[in-house]
Amino acid sequence: MVDISIIVPIYNASKYLKKCLDSLVNQTKKELEFILVNDGSTDDSESIIKSYNDNRIKYFKRSNHGIGKTRNFGISKSTGKYIMFLDSDDYLEENACEILYKKIDKEKLDVVACDFYRVNNNFKEEEKIISFKNTSLKDNPNLLLNINLAPWNKIYRSDLLKNNNIKFIENLKYEDAPFVALTLLKSKKIGKVDKPLINYTIHDSSETTLRDKRVFDIIKIVDIIRNYFKEDDWSREVIDTLTIKILVNYNIQQRYIKDKNIRNEFINKSFSYIEKNIPNYKSNIYFKERSVLKSFIEKNKGLSKLYCDLYRR
Protein backbone atom coordinates (compact mmCIF):
# COMPACT_ATOMS: atom_id res chain seq x y z
CA MET A 1 0.00 0.00 0.00
CA VAL A 2 1.33 3.44 -0.96
CA ASP A 3 0.74 6.49 1.20
CA ILE A 4 -1.38 8.55 -1.22
CA SER A 5 -3.31 7.79 -4.41
CA ILE A 6 -3.88 10.88 -6.57
CA ILE A 7 -6.77 10.47 -9.01
CA VAL A 8 -6.69 12.59 -12.17
CA PRO A 9 -9.61 12.45 -14.66
CA ILE A 10 -8.38 13.51 -18.09
CA TYR A 11 -10.50 14.70 -21.00
CA ASN A 12 -8.93 16.69 -23.86
CA ALA A 13 -6.53 18.35 -21.45
CA SER A 14 -3.38 18.50 -23.58
CA LYS A 15 -2.98 22.26 -23.15
CA TYR A 16 -2.58 21.93 -19.38
CA LEU A 17 -1.68 18.29 -18.81
CA LYS A 18 2.11 18.50 -18.77
CA LYS A 19 2.09 21.11 -16.02
CA CYS A 20 -0.32 18.95 -14.04
CA LEU A 21 1.76 15.79 -14.43
CA ASP A 22 5.05 17.57 -13.77
CA SER A 23 3.62 18.74 -10.45
CA LEU A 24 2.86 15.11 -9.55
CA VAL A 25 6.12 13.40 -10.47
CA ASN A 26 8.15 16.21 -8.85
CA GLN A 27 6.48 16.02 -5.44
CA THR A 28 8.88 16.07 -2.50
CA LYS A 29 6.96 13.10 -1.10
CA LYS A 30 7.69 9.99 -3.16
CA GLU A 31 5.43 7.25 -1.76
CA LEU A 32 2.62 8.02 -4.18
CA GLU A 33 0.62 6.52 -7.01
CA PHE A 34 -0.99 8.48 -9.81
CA ILE A 35 -4.29 7.12 -11.14
CA LEU A 36 -4.58 8.75 -14.56
CA VAL A 37 -7.93 8.03 -16.23
CA ASN A 38 -8.23 9.09 -19.86
CA ASP A 39 -11.96 9.61 -20.25
CA GLY A 40 -12.23 9.37 -24.05
CA SER A 41 -9.87 12.20 -25.02
CA THR A 42 -9.60 12.95 -28.74
CA ASP A 43 -6.53 15.21 -28.50
CA ASP A 44 -2.93 14.17 -27.78
CA SER A 45 -3.42 13.72 -24.02
CA GLU A 46 -2.46 10.06 -24.31
CA SER A 47 0.88 10.76 -25.97
CA ILE A 48 1.70 13.28 -23.22
CA ILE A 49 0.90 10.70 -20.54
CA LYS A 50 3.00 8.02 -22.26
CA SER A 51 5.98 10.36 -22.45
CA TYR A 52 6.41 9.99 -18.67
CA ASN A 53 8.57 7.10 -17.50
CA ASP A 54 7.48 6.82 -13.88
CA ASN A 55 6.40 3.50 -12.39
CA ARG A 56 4.07 5.31 -9.98
CA ILE A 57 1.76 6.11 -12.89
CA LYS A 58 -1.24 3.81 -13.37
CA TYR A 59 -2.81 4.70 -16.69
CA PHE A 60 -6.35 3.73 -17.72
CA LYS A 61 -8.04 4.53 -21.01
CA ARG A 62 -11.83 4.42 -21.35
CA SER A 63 -14.59 5.77 -23.52
CA ASN A 64 -16.16 9.01 -22.29
CA HIS A 65 -18.15 8.46 -19.08
CA GLY A 66 -18.12 11.90 -17.46
CA ILE A 67 -16.19 13.16 -14.48
CA GLY A 68 -18.33 11.54 -11.75
CA LYS A 69 -17.96 8.01 -13.11
CA THR A 70 -14.31 8.64 -13.91
CA ARG A 71 -13.46 9.69 -10.37
CA ASN A 72 -15.38 6.70 -8.99
CA PHE A 73 -13.42 4.42 -11.30
CA GLY A 74 -10.22 5.99 -9.99
CA ILE A 75 -11.26 5.34 -6.40
CA SER A 76 -11.88 1.67 -7.24
CA LYS A 77 -8.35 1.36 -8.68
CA SER A 78 -6.59 3.18 -5.84
CA THR A 79 -4.43 1.38 -3.26
CA GLY A 80 -3.28 4.33 -1.14
CA LYS A 81 -3.89 4.82 2.56
CA TYR A 82 -5.14 8.28 1.57
CA ILE A 83 -6.75 9.67 -1.57
CA MET A 84 -6.46 13.02 -3.31
CA PHE A 85 -8.16 14.35 -6.45
CA LEU A 86 -6.56 16.65 -8.99
CA ASP A 87 -8.18 18.02 -12.13
CA SER A 88 -6.05 17.79 -15.26
CA ASP A 89 -5.90 21.58 -15.71
CA ASP A 90 -4.74 22.16 -12.12
CA TYR A 91 -1.39 21.52 -10.45
CA LEU A 92 0.13 21.03 -7.01
CA GLU A 93 2.75 22.95 -5.11
CA GLU A 94 5.79 20.67 -4.93
CA ASN A 95 5.41 19.98 -1.18
CA ALA A 96 1.61 19.60 -1.19
CA CYS A 97 1.50 15.84 -0.63
CA GLU A 98 4.19 15.93 2.04
CA ILE A 99 2.43 18.61 4.09
CA LEU A 100 -1.08 17.13 3.74
CA TYR A 101 0.16 13.60 4.53
CA LYS A 102 1.96 14.71 7.70
CA LYS A 103 -1.17 16.50 8.92
CA ILE A 104 -3.71 13.75 8.25
CA ASP A 105 -1.51 10.82 9.30
CA LYS A 106 0.14 12.25 12.41
CA GLU A 107 -3.10 13.66 13.81
CA LYS A 108 -5.22 10.67 12.71
CA LEU A 109 -7.76 12.73 10.78
CA ASP A 110 -10.36 11.66 8.22
CA VAL A 111 -10.20 14.73 5.96
CA VAL A 112 -7.80 17.66 5.72
CA ALA A 113 -8.51 20.78 3.65
CA CYS A 114 -6.03 23.46 2.60
CA ASP A 115 -5.98 26.92 1.09
CA PHE A 116 -5.37 27.24 -2.64
CA TYR A 117 -4.40 29.59 -5.44
CA ARG A 118 -6.77 30.71 -8.18
CA VAL A 119 -4.75 30.87 -11.40
CA ASN A 120 -6.02 33.01 -14.27
CA ASN A 121 -3.69 33.61 -17.21
CA ASN A 122 -0.73 32.80 -14.92
CA PHE A 123 -1.88 35.36 -12.34
CA LYS A 124 -2.10 33.65 -8.95
CA GLU A 125 -4.40 34.87 -6.20
CA GLU A 126 -4.50 33.13 -2.83
CA GLU A 127 -7.89 31.86 -1.67
CA LYS A 128 -8.09 31.27 2.06
CA ILE A 129 -10.54 28.98 3.83
CA ILE A 130 -11.42 29.99 7.36
CA SER A 131 -8.99 28.47 9.89
CA PHE A 132 -10.25 25.99 12.45
CA LYS A 133 -8.92 23.46 14.95
CA ASN A 134 -9.49 19.75 14.37
CA THR A 135 -13.21 19.16 14.69
CA SER A 136 -16.25 17.30 13.36
CA LEU A 137 -19.20 18.60 11.41
CA LYS A 138 -21.54 17.89 14.32
CA ASP A 139 -19.36 20.00 16.62
CA ASN A 140 -18.92 22.73 14.01
CA PRO A 141 -21.80 22.63 11.48
CA ASN A 142 -20.71 25.91 9.90
CA LEU A 143 -17.85 24.06 8.22
CA LEU A 144 -20.40 23.24 5.51
CA LEU A 145 -20.57 26.94 4.76
CA ASN A 146 -16.90 27.75 5.33
CA ILE A 147 -15.18 24.90 3.47
CA ASN A 148 -15.53 24.96 -0.30
CA LEU A 149 -17.47 21.89 -1.48
CA ALA A 150 -14.84 20.91 -4.06
CA PRO A 151 -12.79 17.70 -3.78
CA TRP A 152 -9.42 18.92 -5.10
CA ASN A 153 -8.02 20.92 -2.14
CA LYS A 154 -8.41 18.07 0.32
CA ILE A 155 -6.93 14.73 1.30
CA TYR A 156 -9.18 11.87 2.46
CA ARG A 157 -8.66 8.69 4.42
CA SER A 158 -9.26 5.94 1.89
CA ASP A 159 -11.08 3.67 4.35
CA LEU A 160 -13.56 6.44 5.12
CA LEU A 161 -14.62 6.61 1.47
CA LYS A 162 -14.62 2.89 0.76
CA ASN A 163 -16.18 1.66 4.01
CA ASN A 164 -19.02 4.19 3.74
CA ASN A 165 -19.41 3.65 -0.01
CA ILE A 166 -18.98 7.39 -0.60
CA LYS A 167 -18.98 8.07 -4.34
CA PHE A 168 -19.47 10.92 -6.72
CA ILE A 169 -22.95 11.42 -8.13
CA GLU A 170 -22.98 10.20 -11.73
CA ASN A 171 -24.69 11.75 -14.76
CA LEU A 172 -25.27 15.10 -13.06
CA LYS A 173 -23.24 18.29 -13.20
CA TYR A 174 -21.90 19.77 -9.91
CA GLU A 175 -21.25 16.25 -8.61
CA ASP A 176 -18.48 17.57 -6.33
CA ALA A 177 -20.69 19.12 -3.66
CA PRO A 178 -22.61 16.00 -2.48
CA PHE A 179 -19.35 14.01 -2.35
CA VAL A 180 -17.62 16.53 -0.10
CA ALA A 181 -20.73 17.17 2.03
CA LEU A 182 -21.26 13.45 2.71
CA THR A 183 -17.56 12.92 3.39
CA LEU A 184 -17.58 15.72 5.96
CA LEU A 185 -20.73 14.27 7.53
CA LYS A 186 -19.13 10.82 7.92
CA SER A 187 -15.82 12.18 9.22
CA LYS A 188 -15.10 11.99 12.94
CA LYS A 189 -12.18 14.42 12.73
CA ILE A 190 -11.58 17.14 10.12
CA GLY A 191 -8.46 19.29 9.91
CA LYS A 192 -7.04 22.26 8.02
CA VAL A 193 -3.61 23.26 6.72
CA ASP A 194 -3.21 27.03 6.57
CA LYS A 195 -1.17 27.04 3.37
CA PRO A 196 -2.13 27.26 -0.32
CA LEU A 197 -1.02 23.93 -1.78
CA ILE A 198 -3.21 23.58 -4.89
CA ASN A 199 -3.32 25.73 -8.02
CA TYR A 200 -6.88 25.90 -9.34
CA THR A 201 -6.98 27.07 -12.95
CA ILE A 202 -9.75 29.37 -14.17
CA HIS A 203 -10.38 29.47 -17.92
CA ASP A 204 -13.34 30.14 -20.17
CA SER A 205 -13.97 26.53 -21.16
CA SER A 206 -13.80 25.01 -17.68
CA GLU A 207 -16.75 23.03 -16.32
CA THR A 208 -17.24 25.59 -13.57
CA THR A 209 -17.59 28.54 -15.93
CA LEU A 210 -19.85 26.92 -18.52
CA ARG A 211 -23.48 27.90 -18.12
CA ASP A 212 -26.03 25.93 -20.12
CA LYS A 213 -29.17 23.83 -19.63
CA ARG A 214 -27.27 21.59 -17.21
CA VAL A 215 -27.55 24.40 -14.67
CA PHE A 216 -30.88 22.81 -13.63
CA ASP A 217 -28.82 19.95 -12.16
CA ILE A 218 -27.83 22.20 -9.26
CA ILE A 219 -31.37 22.00 -7.86
CA LYS A 220 -31.15 18.18 -7.90
CA ILE A 221 -27.71 18.38 -6.28
CA VAL A 222 -29.02 20.58 -3.47
CA ASP A 223 -31.86 18.13 -2.89
CA ILE A 224 -29.38 15.23 -2.65
CA ILE A 225 -27.36 17.11 -0.02
CA ARG A 226 -30.48 17.96 1.98
CA ASN A 227 -31.44 14.28 2.00
CA TYR A 228 -28.03 13.30 3.42
CA PHE A 229 -28.77 15.47 6.47
CA LYS A 230 -32.52 14.97 6.87
CA GLU A 231 -32.13 12.85 10.05
CA ASP A 232 -29.73 15.27 11.73
CA ASP A 233 -31.58 17.99 13.67
CA TRP A 234 -28.31 19.74 14.54
CA SER A 235 -27.72 20.49 10.85
CA ARG A 236 -31.11 21.94 9.89
CA GLU A 237 -30.25 25.63 10.13
CA VAL A 238 -26.91 25.32 8.34
CA ILE A 239 -28.40 23.12 5.59
CA ASP A 240 -31.13 25.71 4.99
CA THR A 241 -28.47 28.41 4.80
CA LEU A 242 -26.36 26.31 2.41
CA THR A 243 -29.43 25.71 0.22
CA ILE A 244 -30.15 29.43 0.00
CA LYS A 245 -26.48 30.31 -0.52
CA ILE A 246 -26.12 27.91 -3.46
CA LEU A 247 -29.41 28.60 -5.23
CA VAL A 248 -29.35 32.37 -4.78
CA ASN A 249 -25.83 32.40 -6.19
CA TYR A 250 -26.95 30.40 -9.21
CA ASN A 251 -29.96 32.66 -9.70
CA ILE A 252 -27.63 35.63 -10.08
CA GLN A 253 -25.30 33.62 -12.30
CA GLN A 254 -28.11 33.27 -14.81
CA ARG A 255 -26.77 36.49 -16.29
CA TYR A 256 -24.32 34.19 -18.10
CA ILE A 257 -27.19 32.38 -19.84
CA LYS A 258 -27.98 33.96 -23.19
CA ASP A 259 -31.40 32.34 -23.55
CA LYS A 260 -33.84 34.45 -21.52
CA ASN A 261 -36.38 31.62 -21.36
CA ILE A 262 -33.83 29.31 -19.73
CA ARG A 263 -32.76 32.09 -17.35
CA ASN A 264 -36.30 32.72 -16.20
CA GLU A 265 -37.20 29.04 -16.01
CA PHE A 266 -34.25 28.33 -13.74
CA ILE A 267 -35.02 31.25 -11.44
CA ASN A 268 -38.68 30.17 -11.24
CA LYS A 269 -37.74 26.59 -10.32
CA SER A 270 -35.07 27.73 -7.88
CA PHE A 271 -37.47 29.99 -5.99
CA SER A 272 -40.16 27.28 -6.02
CA TYR A 273 -37.71 24.86 -4.42
CA ILE A 274 -36.62 27.37 -1.77
CA GLU A 275 -40.20 28.41 -0.94
CA LYS A 276 -41.29 24.78 -0.62
CA ASN A 277 -38.44 23.66 1.63
CA ILE A 278 -37.68 26.87 3.55
CA PRO A 279 -40.94 28.86 3.82
CA ASN A 280 -39.33 31.51 6.05
CA TYR A 281 -36.26 31.84 3.82
CA LYS A 282 -36.34 35.65 3.77
CA SER A 283 -35.33 35.74 7.43
CA ASN A 284 -32.36 33.38 6.97
CA ILE A 285 -29.01 34.50 8.31
CA TYR A 286 -27.53 34.37 4.81
CA PHE A 287 -29.38 37.54 3.85
CA LYS A 288 -28.41 39.29 7.09
CA GLU A 289 -24.76 38.98 6.06
CA ARG A 290 -25.38 40.48 2.60
CA SER A 291 -25.56 44.16 1.77
CA VAL A 292 -29.02 45.72 1.86
CA LEU A 293 -29.16 46.04 -1.95
CA LYS A 294 -27.93 42.50 -2.66
CA SER A 295 -30.29 41.07 -0.10
CA PHE A 296 -33.22 43.01 -1.56
CA ILE A 297 -32.54 41.68 -5.07
CA GLU A 298 -31.72 38.09 -4.06
CA LYS A 299 -34.89 37.63 -1.98
CA ASN A 300 -37.12 38.64 -4.87
CA LYS A 301 -37.77 36.48 -7.93
CA GLY A 302 -38.76 39.38 -10.19
CA LEU A 303 -35.77 41.51 -9.21
CA SER A 304 -33.41 38.56 -9.72
CA LYS A 305 -34.72 38.18 -13.27
CA LEU A 306 -34.42 41.91 -13.89
CA TYR A 307 -30.85 41.93 -12.60
CA CYS A 308 -29.90 39.08 -14.97
CA ASP A 309 -31.54 40.88 -17.88
CA LEU A 310 -29.71 44.14 -17.18
CA TYR A 311 -26.29 42.64 -16.37
CA ARG A 312 -26.17 39.64 -18.68
CA ARG A 313 -22.70 38.73 -19.91
Share of the chain above pLDDT 70, in %: 97
Sign of the alpha-carbon torsion through 220, 224, 229, 235: negative
The amino acid sitting at 2 is V
pLDDT digits (tens, 9 = 90+) for 144-185: 999 999 999 999 999 999 999 999 999 999 999 999 999 999
Q: Which residues pair with 60 in a beta bridge?
A: 37
Query: pLDDT value at position 312?
Result: 82
Q: What is the dihedral of CA 101, 104, 110, 114, to 10 degrees?
A: -80
Q: What CATH number was assigned to the domain covering residues 4-201?
A: 3.90.550.10
Separation of CA 211 from chain center: 17
Within 10 angstroms of residue 128's Cβ, the number of other Cβ atoms is: 11
Helices 301-310 and 236-252, interaxial angle, to 10°?
40
**Would you state the pLDDT for residue 204?**
62
Predicted pLDDT of residue 122: 74
Q: What SS3 class is residue 123? A: strand
Q: How many CB atoms lie within 10 A of CB 233?
A: 8
**Neighbouring-strand partners of residue 118:** 125, 200
Q: Could you give the C-alpha distances from 68 to 98, 121, 169, in angstroms and in order?
A: 27, 27, 6
State the pLDDT at residue 258: 87
Residue 205, pLDDT score: 47
Q: Can you give the pTM of this predicted structure?
A: 0.94
Output the pLDDT for position 211.
Answer: 58
What's the 3-state SS for 157-201?
A: EHHHHHHCCCCCCCCCCCCHHHHHHHHHHHCCCEEEEEEEEEEEE
Map residue 57 onto helix, strand or coil. strand
Domain boundaries, the chain: 4-201, 213-310
Residue ranges of alpha helices (H) inside the chain are: 14-25, 45-50, 67-77, 96-106, 143-146, 158-163, 176-186, 217-228, 236-252, 260-277, 285-288, 292-298, 301-310
Q: What is the pLDDT tens value at each position of the chain, 313 positions in all?
A: 899 999 999 999 999 999 999 999 999 999 999 999 999 999 999 999 999 999 999 999 999 999 999 999 999 999 999 999 999 999 999 999 999 999 999 999 999 999 999 999 878 999 999 999 999 999 999 999 999 999 999 999 999 999 999 999 999 999 999 999 999 999 999 999 999 999 999 876 444 444 567 899 999 999 999 999 999 999 999 999 999 999 999 999 999 888 999 999 999 999 999 999 999 999 999 999 999 999 999 999 999 999 999 988 7
Beta bridge partners of 108: none
